[in-house]
């Protein structure tokens, strides 16, 4: 099963790379947070081995996206190129893993900061300044833990926090979230003088 999934991912990545040489694939793994629960019966050594074996079959660049709150040390230690995550919901927890984040970035990893909520109520309660303040707050905490901000920014992308396809307005809020991501990116690039 894992080999079949890896082959499918590689075919999709190959097709994307024909269209855009900067394309990458990530596996959407919403259940990863439950992997280490006492109820799963799936030990961390077995899980890491299985995940390493799976990702070794996937062409680079490879990554993972998740909306949950997994065991971050474990995840950041996998042989991944891209980590896409729901920072909006998990920012306090994620910011506590400065050492693991630094090692991930030092290995060449890229973090996709999912900061713009896509649920209707959460989206309506935020604006670009509030979301920027939340994101920069995490960056500030990581800076105090030894993660160089300029290096972090050079290894960062922005995205919506989740896909949230269960909204009553269907895809409208998600589409608006992508607009906010683009504008936040523009403002942050200007503020931090990024290319």
Nearest in space to 111 (alpha carbons), one of 146, 72, 167, 145 = 72
Q: Is residue 54 part of a domain?
A: no
Q: DSSP 3-state assignment of 75?
A: helix
pTM of the prediction? 0.89
Q: Is residue 146 part of a domain?
A: yes
Q: If 0-12 CB within 10 Å is exposed, 13-18 middle and 19+ buried, where does residue 136 land? A: middle
Q: Answer yes or no: is 1 within a domain.
A: no
pLDDT of residue 161: 92
Domain that holds residue 71: 29-43+63-191
Domain count across the chain: 1
pLDDT digits (tens, 9 = 90+) for 112-148: 999 999 999 999 999 999 999 999 999 999 999 999 9
Let me know if residue 23 belongs to a domain: no
The β-bridge partners of 156 are: 111
Residue 132 lies in a domain: yes
E strand or H helix at 77: none
**30 within 8 A of 66, measured Cβ to Cβ:** yes
Residue 12: inside a domain, yes or no?
no
The widest CA-to-CA distance across the chain, in whole angstroms, is 48
Rounded distance, CA 169 to CA 192, Å?
A: 35
């Amino acid at each position: 099963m894992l080999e079949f999934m890896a082959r499918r991912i590689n075919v999709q990545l190959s097709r994307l790379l024909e269209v855009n040489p900067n394309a990458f694939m990530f596996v959407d793994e919403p259940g990863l947070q439950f992997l280490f629960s006492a109820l799963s019966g799936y030990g961390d050594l077995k899980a890491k081995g299985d995940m390493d074996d799976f990702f070794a079959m996937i062409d680079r660049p490879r990554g993972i996206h998740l909306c949950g709150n997994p065991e971050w040390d474990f995840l950041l230690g996998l042989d991944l190129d891209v980590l896409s995550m729901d920072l909006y919901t998990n920012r306090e927890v994620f910011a506590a893993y400065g050492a693991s984040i630094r090692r991930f970035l030092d290995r060449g990893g890229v973090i996709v900061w999912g900061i713009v909520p896509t649920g209707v109520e959460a989206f309506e309660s935020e604006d670009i300044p509030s979301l920027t303040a939340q994101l920069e707050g995490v960056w500030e905490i990581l800076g105090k833990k030894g993660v160089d901000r300029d290096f972090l920014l050079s290894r960062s992308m922005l995205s919506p926090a989740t896909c949230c396809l269960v909204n009553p307005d269907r895809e409208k809020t998600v589409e608006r979230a992508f607009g906010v991501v683009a504008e936040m990116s523009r403002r942050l690039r200007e503020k931090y003088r990024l290319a």
